[in-house]
Every structure is written in C-alpha cells, then in structure tokens.
Chain A
Amino acid sequence: MPTFEYAPAPESRAVVTIEDSYGLFIGGEWTPGHGTPFATINPATGEHLSTVAEATTDDVDAAVRAARTAYTRVWSRMSGTDRGKYLFRIARIMQERARELAVLETIDNGKPIKETRDFDVPTAAAHFFYHAGWADKLEYAGLGSDIRPHGVVGQIIPWNFPLLMLAWKIAPALAAGNTVVLKPAETTPLAAMLFAEICQQADLPPGVVNIVTGAGATGQSIVDHPGIDKIAFTGSTAVGKMIARSIAGTEKKATLELGGKAANIIFDDAPIDQAVEGIVGGIFFNQGQVCCAGSRLLVQENIVDDVVRRLKRRLETLRLGDPLDKNTDVGAINSAEQLARITELTEAGVAEGAERWDTGCPLPKNGFWFRPTLFTGVSQSHRIAQEEIFGPVLSVLTFRTPGEAVAKANNTPYGLSAGVWTEKGSRILWIADQLRAGVVWANTFNQFDPTSPFGGYKESGYGREGGRQGLAAYVRSGGVA
C-alpha cells in the first residue's frame, strides 16, 4: 500500500486566550477559592496551561447558596419562554465561539481538533438549542400534569468530553427550571471556565449557573451538601456507587451515567468494510476514553481472521500526533494517571495470555500517548474483557451462534451500550431486544443526538440524558405521573 505524507496542518491557537489563573464562578462573579490551587496542563505536550482554584466545602456552600437564591428569586419565577430565550442565546454564542471552544478543548483535553470541531462543540450547542425549546413546553412532555423543578442541582462531570458533558448536564437542568452547581473534572476545567464567560455574555441571571473547580473532595462536598436537591453525575462506576451510598436515606435524587464495556457484535453477513469503520470509530474515537466505547469486539468465528486482518490494515492508516493538527486521528491520553491505568491493564492482558498487537507508530516525546492496540485470543475471564480500560485498546472475542453472542455480550455488570452488525433485519431486532444495554447501535456505532436518550442498565447507572426521558430526570411530577 502506498504511504501518503501529510504536511502539518495545525489549527491556530491564537483564537484562544487562557488566563494565568482562574477562580470559582459563583453568583455570576469570579471569586477566589480557599483550597490549594492546582495546575491544568496540555496532555499532548505537558505544557502548563493555567492554575485553577480549588473549591473547599465553604466555597461549595457559597455556590449552593447562590444557586438557591437565584432559584428562589429569579429562575423559578421566570416564564419558561424567557428561560428558553437565555438557553437559545447560550446555544448561539457557543456556535459563534465554536472555533475558540474547539481549540481550547483540544489543548486542555488532548483530543484531536477534528473531533472537538466536528463533534464536541456542535453537539454541545445542539443540546442547548434542543432544551431551550423545552423550557416553555414542559407540560407537553408527557411527564405528568403538575411538574416542577427539583431546585438546586449538583452536577459532576468527567474529563473525556468536558464541554459536551457540561451541556448534557446544564441544558436540561436549566430548561426545567433548576439552577446548578457544576464541577468540571480537575484535569479539564478550561472549557467550563470559558462557558462561565459565555453565561456572562448571555446575561444569564447571576447564580443560575455556578462552576466550582476541584477534585474528588470538592465533588463529595457537593454530594453531601444539604441544600442540593438532585445529583447528576457522569464518571466511574466506583464513584457512582459512593454517591448512591452518600445520598441513601435522604430526599436527594440522582442520575448516574457510569462505566461500560460495550460489546460490538459482527455477524458473518455484515458489510465487513463498513463494520471495520464502525469498529474503529467505536473504540478509537476520543482515544477510547468513552464510557460507551465498543471495547469488546465479538466476531463470528468463521470471519475472525478476515476481520482482524482488515482491522489491522485500517489501524495502520490512523495518524497519531499533534491534536491541533487537522489531519490527526488519534490524540493524547488525558493524563498520566489514565495512561498508567491503560498500561497496567494491557500488561495484564499479555500476562493472562492474550495476544497483543499495536500499530507500532512513533509516539511524540512529551505528553501522554498510547498506540491503538488490539488483543486477540481474549477469553471472557480476562481482565481486558471484564474491566473498563478507557483507552485505545480493543479486545477481540469470537462466537458461533446468535445466542452465544448475546450471552457473551450480556456477561458484564455493565449495560451502557452495544453494537450489532448484520444485514438481516429480523436478527437486528431480536438482538436489540436481548441486549441488556441502554443504547444499541445497529450497523453504526457511537452516534449521539440531543433528542436521543443516553444512559445505562445495571451498573452503568440510572436515569437518561437527552430526549424526553432525559428531561424527566430534571422534574418532579405531581398529579398522576
């Protein structure tokens, strides 16, 4: 196969201004935090980007009080139409400042500009646009005759889609009439800092959105605060369980969007080249740091050699490198900790007897990098088939019958997503019925839309985000529903 050389095509950083330090966004103002400020770095280079405040329990308390005041005095009294108008404004500003958001997200997270520009930012704006329209139509959502907001919602989001997860959380909460205290992940706070500025630009009433930065302790302060009516969390299953325990016996509600170990099932009648594209997108999108990633490939036994050969050939064409380069397919791993976890689990895969293959591509000197990696000869009991790796690592398993495919796919405590590839319609529908997962992609993978509910079965959490079912998580209903 001929190799094409690509000239560097870096996106300009000039569009983004990063401050030397950031405080907490409370009551519409920047205020200093009282904890120990921490650094955020560019994971692709190790370069120091900014210093961010750490919110203490007292700071979280101030944020919750600001949110409560805004809820009681302003947001809960405002008409749905006006709430919606603010959300439409935010959506528009995000579209206008899309380039800036995309570059900032790429710098802070390490994901390719191609993804932030074409997926993260437009989808985040679309979430605000979609939910803006619900704000004055809640009584048509079929969620009951007397629906009310919860009040103050505490939201804790992960580092893999910093802006998009913020949008998934804030847009429905505000549309339904809640105010929020949101904590971005400690390794990726900058998108939320820029979003705070967007809230100011939109003249969003102070205190409707409050953003506090910090790590686990700050998150725990939000969860434990008595003034919080509902928790929305996206992150690991272990932390999700801690949150569920923390709020036991209280009146707090929770939605938890947690880990996954999705099966991607390929039948021998599938369009193989399309399936290979779907497999690659399913596991290598965002360096595999996706809770719904198709990390377990289940291939019908008679085609496994062909699929693996085509897969390897396709993976060798992926370009790994500078995330700001518009031709880059695979960016940096988000942090040293995450890289260590991926490394540890892949080493366990080798130690347990699976066969490791990677693209062998050169890795940049600085920053955190991991080559697209594939394991064959994986069995159900291997850690790489059971545990969420959250990295660009695909485990290949085989099956013979549809029944075996379903049994293996469901053999996990998780249940977030699954994929199936076959040309047979009746088989798609049967498999979709059998899979214990909240999202099933048939002949496609990793599709997202604001109108489409997302969330898991079993230990992948509860509640949905997106669509009518996602909206339901942000209202209480009286009446008969």
Chain B
Amino acid sequence: MSRIDVRKTYKLFIGGAFPRSESGRSYDVYAAPTREGNRAFLANAAQASRKDARNAVVAARKAVAGWSGATAYNRGQVLYRVAEVMESRRDQLIAEVRSAEGLTAARAATVVDAAIDRWVWYAGWTDKIAQVTGNANPVAGPYFNISAPEPTGVVAVVAPQGDSLLGLVSVVAPVVATGNTCVVIASQEHPLPAITLAECLATSDLPGGVVNVLTGDPAEMAPWLASHLDVNAIDLAGAGSLDWAALEADAAGNLKRVRRPSTDEDFTATPALSRMTDFLETKTVWHPKGR
C-alpha cells in the first residue's frame, strides 16, 4: 500500500512569518495543461488582500533600518546563503517550476540554475555597486565632496507573471542587494515556486521583513501598493497586462520611483545595472577642508 503523502499548505510570507491571508481566502492552483489539455490541481494558495499588502509594507518598513544599515559584506553573505539554500532544494524547485510552467525537465533545470546563479551574481554586487555608481567630486573650492548611492527604502514589486521563479528572483534580488526591502506580488497563476523561494529566504539569515511575498490577484493588490504613502518605489515588471498607466499615476501621489513594465525581458541574459540603480538615491556630502 502506498504511503499517504503529507501535502503542503502554501501561505504568504510577511515579516519572516508564514501567515494565511487575513481574509481567509485561498484560490486553486493548477499545473500547466497536459497535451490533452487537462490541468492537474496542485494546491490552494493564499489569496492576499489589501490588508495583507498593507501589513507587508509595515513589515518591510520595519526591516529597512536593519537591512540598509547592515554592512554590504554582510548583505553579500546573506544573498550567497540564499543561493546555497536554493541549491539544496534544487530538485524541488525544478519540479515545481516544471509542473507550473509546463517546461521540459532540462529547461526547468536551466531556469532554476539561472535563478540560483542570479543570487550569486547579486551577492557579489552588494559591496561593489557603491564603487561603480559613486565617486568623489572635484569641486572648485576647498571642500571634500563625495557622492554615494543609498537604498530608496521600501520597494513594491509586481513580479513577472509568466516566469515564476527566475523572473521573480531577477526582480527581487537587485532590489534587496542594495539594502532596500520589498513587498513582491508573485505570479498569480504559478505562485508555488515563490512560496518555496520564501522558505529558502526564511532559512538564509535574511532578516524578517526584507522580502515579503504575496500571492493572489495583482490587479487587486497593486493599486494599494502603488498609492501607499510609505512605499518609496514600485517595479511594474509584471504589470504589463494590468492598467499600469493608472498604477504609475497612483505612484505619483508621493513621487515613487517607478520602473515601467518590461516587455519580453530575457531573464537568462546578464541583467541591466538599472535593475539596481532605479531603486537607489545619490547622496552627496560636503565638508570644508582647512588647517
């Protein structure tokens, strides 16, 4: 007799904990259709509400001081640890991406490997981005003057809706590498890899609240994040099929930094530096020189 397997309940990831939606809602998640067009039931995912999104912003804000104040070296160590933990769950991630997106085993492995490697790439960036984008300024006067990048704060992210793991990692890792915290709305149709990623993050010494993962309907949640006055920036990467012009207009309420939707972005390619710099501020400090 075969063993009755223990199935997983997929929940949200907010402030380092895994709560259900406060609304009590969940929705059915199905596998990619088979050749015959059948879609197997995979799980019930939590359907996050406006209140969950707001709670996630509170958690993200709370985490800003600690994470942005951590040394760049420390952030790099933590990001590398994420890659290590994902590597140890590689088979699980491949299986989940494969069933979600209907990829071949080989393609799913390529995608998962690229997602893991992306964390390694950004782990190496944490202590270099300030050197690449900052500099001393030779002002015409007796002053020490230096410009350096700083994280903008809390970043809301609408993750790519098709590419459930690599797309997600490609938009979240650059945001947190530089010291921001984020609230990310995962792929609505394929939310399970996002929650497994959250489990990796939860066991990687990433402080609670640095990454908060919401599953559910982006059209329901994104407007609340776009208009939220304690959110500093929004990445509309996966909002191409939403009314993203309205989201960008909402974001103007507190002058959020906005990254517009990407069209057909190839997430296997080397990322643009702007994925980090779009969520950085330049601070310039002056001090007189004198004897």
Residue of A458, A468, A480 touching B273 (CB-CB under 8 A): A480
In the complex, 30 of the A-B residue pairs with CB atoms within 8 angstroms, ordered by the A residue number, are A142-B133, A241-B255, A244-B252, A244-B255, A245-B249, A248-B246, A248-B249, A432-B283, A439-B286, A440-B283, A442-B285, A443-B287, A447-B139, A449-B137, A449-B139, A451-B139, A451-B140, A452-B284, A453-B137, A453-B282, A453-B284, A457-B281, A458-B255, A459-B254, A462-B255, A467-B284, A468-B135, A469-B282, A477-B272, A481-B273
Instruction: Give A241 to B133 CA distance when docked, in angstroms.
Output: 27
Neighbouring B residues of A249 by C-beta, 8 Å = 244-246, 248-249
Is B257 interfacial (CB 8 A cutoff)? yes
Residues of A309-366 whose CB lies within 8 A of B: none
Assess whether A441 is interfacial by the CB under 8 Å rule. yes
- Known contacts A449-B140, A452-B139; is A442 also within 8 Å of B252 by CB? no
Q: Is A144 an interface residue (CB 8 A)?
A: yes
In the complex, are the beta carbons of A438 and B281 less than 8 A apart? yes
Smallest CB–CB gap between A350 and chain B, Å? Answer: 30
Residue of B nearest to A142 (CB): B132
Task: Decide if B135 touches A240 in the complex (CB within 8 Å).
Answer: no
Q: Say whether A437 faces chain B, with CB atoms less than 8 Å apart.
A: yes
Q: Flag A202-243 by CB within 8 Å of B: 1 or 0 each.
A: 000000000000000000000000000000000001001110
* Chain B residues closer than 8 Å to A71, beta-carbon distance: none
A248 touches B252 (CB 8 A): yes
Q: Is B138's beta carbon under 8 Å from chain A?
A: yes
**What residue of chain B has the Cβ atom nearest to residue A456's Cβ?**
B281
What is the distance, in angstroms, from A27's C-beta to the closest C-beta of chain B?
Answer: 32
Q: Which residues of A contact B254 (CB under 8 A)?
A: 413, 458-459
Question: Which residues of A from 77 to 113 have beta carbons under 8 Å from B?
Answer: none
A28 at the interface (CB under 8 A from B): no
Contact A432–B285 (Cβ < 8 Å) = yes
Q: Is the CB of B257 within 8 A of A144?
A: no
A268 to chain B, nearest CB (A): 19
| CB of B2 to closest CB in A, whole Å | 51
Residue among B249, B251, B270 making CB contact with A480, cutoff 8 Å: B270
Interface contact B252-A438, CB-CB below 8 Å = no
Complex alpha-carbon distance, A244 and B249, angstroms? 7
Q: Is the CB of A438 within 8 A of B232?
A: no
Most buried by A among B147, B244, B257, B274: B147
Provide the residues of chain A in CB contact with B286, threshold 8 Å: 439-442, 444, 447, 452
Proximity bits, B132-170, A CB within 8 Å = 1, else 0: 110101111101010100001000000000000000000
The chain A residue sitting closest to B232, CB to CB, is: A458
Q: Which 6 A-B pairs have the closest CB atoms?
A: A249-B245, A244-B252, A248-B248, A449-B139, A248-B249, A481-B273
The residue in chain B whose Cβ has the minimal distance to the Cβ of A419 is B286
Q: With A126-B140, A442-B287, A453-B284 as given contacts, are A462 and B249 in contact (CB-CB < 8 Å)?
A: no
Contacts of B137 in A (CB 8 A): 449, 451-453, 467
- A sample of 4 more A-B contacts (CB under 8 A), given A248-B246, A467-B137, is A249-B245, A437-B283, A440-B284, A469-B282
B283 pairs with A144, CB closer than 8 A:
no
Measured between beta carbons, the chain B residues less than 8 angstroms from A142 are 132-133
| B66 contacts chain A at the CB level, 8 A cutoff | no
Given A245-B252, A477-B274, residue A455 in contact with residue B282 (CB < 8 A): yes
Contact partner of B255 (CB less than 8 A), chosen from A240, A453, A464, is A240
Q: Which residue on B lies nearest to A253, using beta carbons?
A: B260
Residues of chain B lying within 8 A (CB to CB) of residue A298: none
User: In whole angstroms, what is the CA distance A452 to B244 when docked?
Assistant: 35
Closest B residue, CB atoms, query A460: B255
B284 touches A241 (CB 8 A): no
Q: At the interface, yes or no: B288 with Cβ under 8 Å from chain A?
A: yes
Chain B nearest CB from A134 CB (Å) reads 14
Give chain B residues whose Cβ lies under 8 Å from the Cβ of A248.
245-246, 248-249, 251-252, 258
